[in-house]
Chain A
Amino acid sequence: MSTLEILTLLIIGVVILIWRITWLASRVHRATMRTERTWSALDAALVGRAQRAAELVTLPGIDPATALLVVDAAAAALEPDLCQGERERAESDLSHVLETVDPMLPAGPGQLASERARASICRRLHNDAVATALFLRRRYTVRILRLAGRTAEPRPFEMADGSICTLTAGPPDSPPSSLAYVYLAGDAAEPRAPAVGEARQPS
């Protein structure tokens, strides 16, 4: 092999390497951007849920004890400047309170039910996005070359968001309760982003 050939091969190799690294960096960037989007969606959904919950006080026929319980939990969740751990706890408490008082409420507040379902959907999507981002960021190449830049490492948002909301059959004339059947099976199968195809034992 002549020097020219070796040089050509070397250049091709370097180009491929750079292309691979750029591609990986774009994947990391995309995954990080997504966690920011899913977080803003989750944040908005949680605020919406707490606001709807706080509005329960205005419901005609609600007893003062229930009202106080709900408003207290909603206010705690709406508190500004909570750190993530505190907010996770406050939102979980709100979930538990809403779940407990739900059967005792005078009339079915459809708005609140859909806000609760939306919060659960957003939380699942956010944690899914975070898992993908973390999986990429922990790759050897990404860590060594600092492809994630200086963006902070995303964290999943852990909270209780209600047990499995199964299909609820209301009276035959009632319109179907929309969003009432989003299954929220807890964290029984929380993904940890294994390599594609890697079989894991179900926990």
Chain B
Amino acid sequence: MTDPRRSLRVGIVCPYSFDVPGGVQNHVLGLARYLRQAGHRPYVLAPGELGPSPTALDLEDFATVGAAIPVPYNGSVARVNFGPLSAARVRRWLRNGKFDLIHIHEPITPSVSLLALWAAEQPVVATFHTATPRSRSMQLASGVLRAAIEKIDAGIAVSESARNVVVQHLGRDAVVIPNGIQFDAFADRRRVHAEFAEACPKLIFLGRLDEPRKGLDVLLAAAPLIMKARPHLEVIVAGQGKRLLPPWCRGLGTISEETKIALLGSADVFVAPQLARESFGIVLLEAMASGVQIVASNLPSFVDLLGAPQDEQRLGEVFTVGDHRALAQAVLKVLDHPDSMRALRAQHAARNYDWSSVGTTVLAVYRAALSAPPARRTGLGMA
């Protein structure tokens, strides 16, 4: 077993470009920030040319593989890197970095992640983020992928559903470690942005506007029903994507992390109407951390986060997926009887997902992956 106090050089590989914000990118930055604070040396490799904002990570520790190419992948357009030139750059980064350990995110993505997994000679930890099986393509590419997947020393899945995909489609197993959040940033409600500090009650939605599975349509269908009873309600939606919004709905477009924190801090109700395929629900968790009242669809991952099957114990209102009438009812219930104790309990539950505790578990996995071979054969476990 390695000395737990030893400072580790960790090479973190992110498959998606930092040119556009995204869940995996945020997770990588949060992890790098945590590792830095814990006294380790994180280095990040990602496609694209832009680095993350300077406050997030020193640029010297950040390497890019060059212009990312937008290609259709997994139902949306992903900005990724592939080809022999990228492969050579990844190999050079691995060789020059002298890493103790490589931590690859979404290893089975046709981008730098798969290239790094292919070329890695160090111990490899891999985090699986999605709960979407792509069995057809995995089957077709099985010969190549099989050998790459074998190189993973320790797998991490962000949720039980993500783990199921790893087990069923890759024939491997993974330790479930949830995504981390910067709890303190969200929990500090004093930083309310002047822009959002108006008197009327606010309902907010965060997520891509043009992706149907994010469920904005359900919210837009429910909003008129809510506004019949609450005409002063302000509906604010923020997220990427072009979309024509009704006049009573305020669209903010893509927003920065700071604006998101301010928006969550000033909102009265947060609505998560997602229809499917949320493997973890990080936005919901961030909303919980900021102490806003929550209305969410009953997706398994959301129900897991909100806990307790009894309605009174739950940390937020839950409605049937896709049912806009139920959504309207739930929002009105929350607006009519705001339950600040419940919001506080939700905030407290979200504290457990702070990087300080999630990161400790990730480090435990690093330590297990780095364990030295036994000095002598013990016979146990080796029958």
- Chain A interfacial positions (CB closer than 8 Å to B): 23, 27, 30-31, 33-45, 82-84, 87, 114, 117-118, 121-122, 124-132, 135-136, 152-155, 157, 166-169, 172, 176-183, 185, 189-200, 202
Contacts and interface: CB of A to CB of B under 8 A. Distances in A.
Interface of B: 1, 133, 135-142, 145-147, 149-151, 153-155, 160, 163-164, 167-178, 307, 345, 348-349, 351-352, 354, 356-357, 360-361, 364-365, 367-369, 371-374, 377-383
A169 B352 contact: yes
Q: Which of B345, B354, B367 counts the most A-chain CB atoms under 10 A from its CB?
A: B367
Contact of B349 (A122, A130, A169): A169
Given A189-B163, A196-B141, 10 more contacts: A36-B374, A87-B380, A124-B173, A130-B381, A132-B172, A154-B382, A169-B348, A179-B357, A181-B357, A198-B169
Contacts of A122: 368
A117 B361 contact: yes
A28 B383 CA distance: 17
Contacts of B367: 41, 118
A127 to B, nearest CB: 7
Given A191-B172, A195-B171, A125 B154 contact: yes
A31 B191 CA distance: 52
Contact of B352 (A82, A87, A180, A193): A180
Nearest to A133: B150
Given A152-B382, A179-B360, A136 B374 contact: no
A197 B135 contact: yes
Contact of B1 (A30, A44, A154): A44
B373 A128 contact: no
A187 B318 CA distance: 30
A176 B181 CA distance: 13
Contacts of A195: 139, 142, 146, 171
Contact of A153 (B167, B351, B383): B383
A196 B169 CA distance: 6
A202 B135 CA distance: 14
A125 B174 CA distance: 7
B357 A191 contact: no
Contacts, number: 190
Given A177-B357, A180-B352, A199 B154 contact: no
A183 B164 CA distance: 13
A128 B229 CA distance: 55
B125 to A, nearest CB: 10
Contacts of A193: 171-172
Given A125-B154, A155-B383, A118 B172 contact: no
Q: Would you list the 9 A-B pairs with minimal beta carbon distance, nearest first? A: A197-B139, A41-B371, A197-B138, A128-B173, A196-B142, A40-B374, A178-B360, A183-B176, A39-B381
A192 B171 contact: yes
Contacts of A198: 135, 139, 169, 171
Given A183-B176, A197-B138, A167 B307 contact: yes
A176 B175 CA distance: 20
Nearest to A182: B361
Contacts of B178: 181
B135 A199 contact: yes
B368 A189 contact: no
Given A117-B364, A180-B352, A183-B176, A194 B171 contact: yes
Contacts of A124: 173-175
B173 A127 contact: yes
A176 B368 contact: no
A154 B381 contact: yes
A36 B167 contact: no
B336 to A, nearest CB: 27
Contact of B371 (A38, A182, A192): A38
A107 B312 CA distance: 30
A197 B172 CA distance: 11
30 contacts: A30-B151, A33-B373, A36-B373, A37-B374, A43-B374, A43-B380, A114-B360, A121-B175, A125-B153, A125-B369, A126-B381, A128-B174, A131-B173, A154-B382, A154-B383, A167-B352, A169-B345, A169-B349, A172-B348, A176-B356, A176-B357, A182-B175, A183-B160, A189-B173, A190-B173, A195-B146, A197-B136, A198-B135, A198-B171, A199-B168
Contacts of B168: 189, 199-200, 202
Contact of A199 (B169, B352, B360): B169
Q: Which of B153, B164, B171 counts the most A-chain CB atoms under 10 A from its CB?
A: B171
B139 A179 contact: no
Nearest to A46: B380
B361 A178 contact: yes
A164 to B, nearest CB: 9
Contact of B150 (A83, A132, A167, A192): A132
A87 B140 CA distance: 42
B369 A40 contact: no
Nearest to B2: A41
A179 B361 contact: yes
